Chains A and B, each alone.
Chain A
Amino acid sequence: MAFLEQHIHDAPTSFWSKYVVSYDHKVIAKQFLWYALFWGLVGGLMSMLIRWTLAYPGIPVPVIGHMLFPASGGVVPPDTYAMLFTLHGTIMIFFFITPLLIGCFGNYCIPLMIGARDMIFPTLNMLSFWFAMASGVVLFASLCIPLGGAAGGWTSYPTLSTNIGQPGAGQTMWLISLFLFGISSTMGAINYITTVITLRAPGMGYFKMPLTIWGLWLTAILNAIFVPVLGAGLLLLTFDRVFGTTFFLAGAAATSGRGDPILFQHVFWIFGHPEVYILILPAWGIVSDLLSFFARKPAFGYKMTALSLTAITVLSTVVYGHHMYTTQMSPLLTQSFMTLTMLISIPSAIFFANWLGTIWKGSIQFHSPMLFSLGVVFVFGLGGLTGLYLASTSIDLYLHDTYFVVGHFHYTMAASVLLGGFAGVYFWMPKMFGRMMNESLAKWHFWLTMIGINGIFMGMMVVGYGGMHRRLYNPFIYEFLHKLIPINNFISYSAFFAGAAQILFIYNLFKTVFAKNYPAAGKNPWGVGTLEWEIDSPAPHYNFKDIPEVKCGPHEFGNPNLKTGRDYQYQTEELVKV
């Protein structure tokens, strides 16, 4: 095995080169962190408006209502409601979760955890952030134009998203924004994949990488393969809207030709299903590592976990049809997709059992990252199990487009990923900023968030099973849904509760990062043996003075023969035989 030479560059000196157009993966990671938090706030606020409208139809939104919706006296109007749920989905997926988990942790962790001085293509990395920035600017601008932003659902199915369903520039700007974001993601993916393949430190075999890196690497592979598929769909839809092609126009919507709206659904979900795993794989990786770190035990079945994640990555590419059972697919196809989808539960069950095996009889330290990781185990368990209901064609025909689906995908994509993201922020904060976040606030944050989000998503599953459809402005004009009003209000209260709990996090984060005279965290506050904990906190701009030589795996804990006085081994130490 050969190793690339990595030079130590001089530290940037000016504000501009240090914080704005930085080539340093750690600075780019922080840029992505703030970017994600800004959008998370916007997207979160949108969800609050959505829940307010569902709990109090026709009542003005307090405080900000008159400012945002003066024409309707502070009430969210129906067309704005459609825009809100569309952009809530878009923002949370592409502008919050992706930058946080992949942009921030991908950038921060990959070079540090594999023992490299930076990403392999630092310029590409910088470009990736600025493309994301451009994309964010376009999306934000689309909120401020006459007719408002996109309102065809985050999936933007035609005919809803064609000029007939969506007059005005909002939808077109949405398409352009996501296309730019796709370019950014693809650039990032090319960088991550190549970095992991070529820059692993000597001795760092694939099966010595932390599982965080496994998750991020597999995510990058899915990104590189499937984001361009969405790109093609976005391009064609843009052509339909701007130049008058007829790919997705059918029936009365098309002046001529026989376009097919379903075609977009195919293209969207060929991308869209892997996208679900693009979002969750980094969180799985982080959790797999953290459970071992804080149970002070080697990760149970490390190799099987890595291979299960790989198997899921492969399977995720061939199951997209389960989003389209109600599109008059041939029954043979629905059955194939159903079988393939259910197959995913096998590798999922393997790594889930490995998680439980890891914490089994461990000496668990309930620090905040561990609490959030255990939270992921719980909510992902629920989300995963309800996925089996939806995978089954006959049940899905009833549940399709109900709040049961909304509850399910929020459990998997939102709750799991959010808690995984928080776990990551609390865990790597000392390495990123050299400071520990306040533990008691973090624990309050965990419990309040946990209670809140379970109230929301469990409630959603119940109303969904009761037959309430998603995306309705006022579902209670239907008499059969009247009985669901109380539980629907409960969901909204839970949402406000969970939303308010995030103030704790924001306060804690800002205080930790910006407060003067804050105590410094040591090199290794958590007592963990992966490479990034052997260098100073915050990590110096060149990461490693000497490229480390890796001699053992990332989870060497609790070995009784260790004579160092620690209960863990650094990855650079020769493995002590048990």
Chain B
Amino acid sequence: MITKGPADELNHFKNSVAMTVTLISFGMMFASLFLGYFLVRFNAPAWPPVEIENLPKVLPFLSTLVMALSSWTFVLLEKRGEKKMLWLATFGLGVLFLGLQFLLWNALAESGILVSNGNVPSMVYAFTWVHAGHIVLALMLVLWLGHLIFRNPAQLTDVKLINVGKFWHFLGVIWFLMYLMLFVL
């Protein structure tokens, strides 16, 4: 058996190749959604269309803040020794983000913006649904990290932390783009 170089480094290399490919795949999916957005936007006679006027402003801003905070705690989680508190903070913020999304959907429905009300509501709902679905997936991965941190620290390697982190930050960036496109610009 031929092995050159430290095993950790090699393991890291293999996993970061795989994670990069994975993120490209996920990225392409979101990019396709954004392509749809741009086609709709540039073909629209006026922007923002009438129905976008009363979109909630505060809730998505809060979501963005929460997402950014959780990314920050995750960065600390990757670097600092004190894992348990930081993990709790990250996971809690992630759940809070999901909660805020639920509030957002409720607020939209209450102000009379339903899924079937045209292009912009369609996009707001569909994009946030798809993103929230991925957040659920990511939270499961974070839970798995939590299991390692609390129960099985010997199995917790840097590679696992960094890779889940990459996915988490990636979803943060995607959310930020969605926030800009749907609620700000």
Interface residues of A (CB under 8 A from B): 1-6, 120-121, 186, 189-191, 193-194, 197-198, 202, 224-229, 231-233, 235-236, 239, 243-247, 255-260, 263, 266-267, 270, 546-547, 549
Contact = CB atoms under 8 A, between A and B. Distances in A.
Interface string B37-80: 00110011000000000000000000000000000000000000
B111 interface: no
Contacts of A225: 24-25, 28
A121 B28 contact: no
Q: Which 6 residue pairs across A and B have the least CB separation, nearest first? A: A257-B118, A232-B32, A2-B5, A228-B29, A245-B122, A244-B116
A303 B58 CA distance: 58
B2 A202 contact: yes
Interface string B81-119: 000000000000000000000000000000000111111
B130 A235 contact: yes
Interface in B5-48: 5, 7, 9-11, 13-14, 17-18, 21-22, 24-33, 35-36, 39-40, 43-44
A236 B36 contact: yes
A2 B43 contact: no
Interface residues of B, number: 44
Nearest to B6: A2
A244 B28 contact: no
Contacts of B26: 228
B125 A260 contact: no
B24 A246 contact: no
Nearest to B32: A232
B129 interface: yes
Given A2-B10, A4-B14, A229 B28 contact: yes
B39 A239 contact: no
A193 B21 contact: yes
Contacts of B44: 258
A73 to B, nearest CB: 42
Contacts of B130: 232, 235
A260 to B, nearest CB: 7
A190 B125 contact: no
Contacts of B155: none
Nearest to A185: B25
Interface of B: 1-5, 7, 9-11, 13-14, 17-18, 21-22, 24-33, 35-36, 39-40, 43-44, 114-119, 121-123, 125-126, 129-130
Nearest to B39: A263
Nearest to B117: A256
Contact of A232 (B33, B43, B119): B33
A5 B7 contact: yes
A225 B30 CA distance: 12
A228 B118 CA distance: 25
Contacts of A259: 119, 122
Contacts of A245: 115-116, 121-122, 125-126
A194 B118 contact: no
B25 A246 contact: no
A547 B4 CA distance: 14
A224 B116 contact: no
A5 B2 CA distance: 7
Contacts of B116: 244-246, 255-257
A198 B14 CA distance: 6
Contacts of A5: 1, 3, 7, 10
A270 B32 CA distance: 9
Given A232-B29, A246-B122, A547-B1, 4 more contacts: A235-B130, A257-B116, A266-B35, A546-B1
Contacts of B129: 239
Nearest to A244: B116
A218 B27 CA distance: 19
Contacts of B32: 228-229, 231-233, 267, 270
Contact of A3 (B4, B22, B123): B4
A560 to B, nearest CB: 33
Given A4-B10, A239-B126, A190 B18 contact: yes
B118 A246 contact: yes
B166 to A, nearest CB: 14
Contact of B4 (A2, A193, A247): A2
A247 B122 contact: yes
Contact of B14 (A120, A233, A236, A267): A120
14 contacts: A2-B10, A4-B11, A193-B18, A193-B21, A224-B21, A244-B114, A245-B116, A245-B122, A246-B116, A247-B123, A256-B118, A266-B35, A270-B32, A270-B35
A184 B22 CA distance: 13
A359 B121 CA distance: 60
B126 A235 contact: yes
Contact of A247 (B1, B9, B117, B126): B126
A547 B1 CA distance: 6
A191 B17 CA distance: 10
B5 A186 contact: no
Contacts of B39: 260, 263, 266
A194 B21 contact: yes
Nearest to A264: B36
Contacts of B10: 2-5, 198
Nearest to B26: A228
A245 B122 CA distance: 5
Contact of B122 (A191, A231, A239): A239
